[in-house]
Amino acid sequence: MAEKTPYVPPKVWTPAASGGAFANINRPVAGPTHDKELPIGQHPLQLYSLGTPNGVKVTIMLEELLALGHAGAEYDAWLIRINEGDQFSSGFVEINPNSKIPALVDRSGAEPLRVFESGSILLYLAEKFGAFLPRELAARTETLNWLFWQMGSAPFVGGGFGHFYAYAPEKFEYPINRYAMETKRQLDVLDRQLAEHRFVAGKEYTIADMAIWPWYGGMVRGEAYDAAEFLSVHEYRHVVRWAEEIAARPAVIRGRKVNRVRGKPDEQVAERHQASDLD
């Protein structure tokens, strides 16, 4: 068998067909591809999302707020099918110029307020409703430390390990090894923290847990990339303990159903416009 010619980067990069999952929506420019307004429901909070780890963060937060009795957290959740390019509509780009889910519009004030990036949405909702973010400076800072840790770390797990292990058109040893090593390092960071604390940021359940659980909790529970055995996730027993505790919360069970179009039929609710949609 002839050996492949090593790839030599050109002096100037030009787009080329990459193949693999999501190749049909990858492009080197921003902005809308088509005109389409976003639907608007009856509630002040309008969420445009998909049941990916980043989307689940926000629906869990909203369901947790409702469980606490915050009636103002009622929301409409509209499905954005990223495989079909819904995130490149003119309406979506208007509320998130980065064309990534989730995106939220708060229509409770005099003017609609857009909020994009999942971490920003969690922080916005925590401050708006005064919940799941400690007020005391040290505890608040520790919560934000871990929130931003997740925001900076997860791209190596999803766009790095997940892409090359599960979605790339071919398997390449170097990137899989590189990102598997980083993913395991991150799981070890989290395991060491949870060895000393019930929740990620300490004694309280916070937006840090809501941000981290859909990514790392899903991974140790065997729900991400079919990679649990490959990554030996059983080694991270403190993460496993924490992940199972979070998974059992009623609001988490409800929140992870929203905008979900894969998995078990009884766990899928494509759109959510009232509480009874999840029952």
Q: Which residues are paired to 104 by β-bridges?
A: 47, 115
Regions of the chain with pLDDT less than 50? none
* pTM as predicted: 0.96
According to the model, what pLDDT value does residue 7 have?
87
Q: Do residue 53 and residue 117 come from a single domain?
A: yes
Judge whether 158 lies within some domain: yes
Q: Do residue 116 and residue 204 come from a single domain?
A: no
Q: Do residue 145 and residue 128 come from a single domain?
A: no
Judge whether 17 lies within some domain: no
Q: Do residue 106 and residue 240 come from a single domain?
A: no
Q: Do residue 156 and residue 234 come from a single domain?
A: yes
State how far the alpha carbon of 137 is from the alpha carbons of 142, 143, 150, 153, in Å. 9, 10, 20, 24
According to the model, what pLDDT value does residue 130 have?
98
Judge whether 231 lies within some domain: yes
Full domain range(s) for residue 211: 137-247
Q: Which of 75, 169, 56, 193 is nearest to 128 (CA)?
A: 75
Spell out the long-range contacts of 177-180 with Cβ–Cβ below 8 A and sequence spacing 24 or more.
Answer: 180/230, 180/231
Q: Do residue 211 and residue 123 come from a single domain?
A: no
Distance, in Å, from the CA atom of 145 to the CA atom of 40, rounded to the nearest integer, reads: 34
According to the model, what pLDDT value does residue 80 have?
98
H/E/C letters for each residue in 18-68? Answer: CCCCCHHHCCCCCCCCECCCCCCCCCCEEEEECCCHHHHHHHHHHHHHHHC
Q: Do residue 127 and residue 69 come from a single domain?
A: yes
SS3 94: helix
Please name the residue that has the structure tokens 């992870």: 256
Q: What total of structural domains would you count in the chain?
A: 2
Q: Do residue 141 and residue 243 come from a single domain?
A: yes
Q: Which of 242, 268, 243 is nearest to 254 (CA)?
A: 268
In tens, the pLDDT along 36-74 reads 999 999 999 999 999 999 999 999 999 999 999 999 999
CATH of the domain at 70: 3.40.30.10
Q: Do residue 95 and residue 233 come from a single domain?
A: no
Judge whether 232 lies within some domain: yes
Q: Name the token pair of 277.
A: 């949609």
- Give the ranges where 130-236 is alpha helix by DSSP (H): 137-155, 173-194, 207-212, 218-220
Q: Name the token pair of 11.
A: 């002096």
Q: Do residue 169 and residue 240 come from a single domain?
A: yes
Judge whether 243 lies within some domain: yes
Judge whether 18 lies within some domain: no
In tens, the pLDDT along 115-152 reads 999 999 999 999 999 999 999 999 999 999 999 999 99
CB 52 within 8 A of CB 206: no
CB 45 within 8 A of CB 61: no
Whats the size of the chain, residue-wise? 279
Q: Do residue 91 and residue 122 come from a single domain?
A: yes
Judge whether 57 lies within some domain: yes
SS3 117: coil
Judge whether 227 lies within some domain: yes
CATH of the domain at 178: 1.20.1050.10
Q: Do residue 124 and residue 177 come from a single domain?
A: no
According to the model, what pLDDT value does residue 2 have?
60
Is 205 exposed, middle or buried (CB count within 10 Å of its CB: 0-12, 13-18, 19+)?
middle
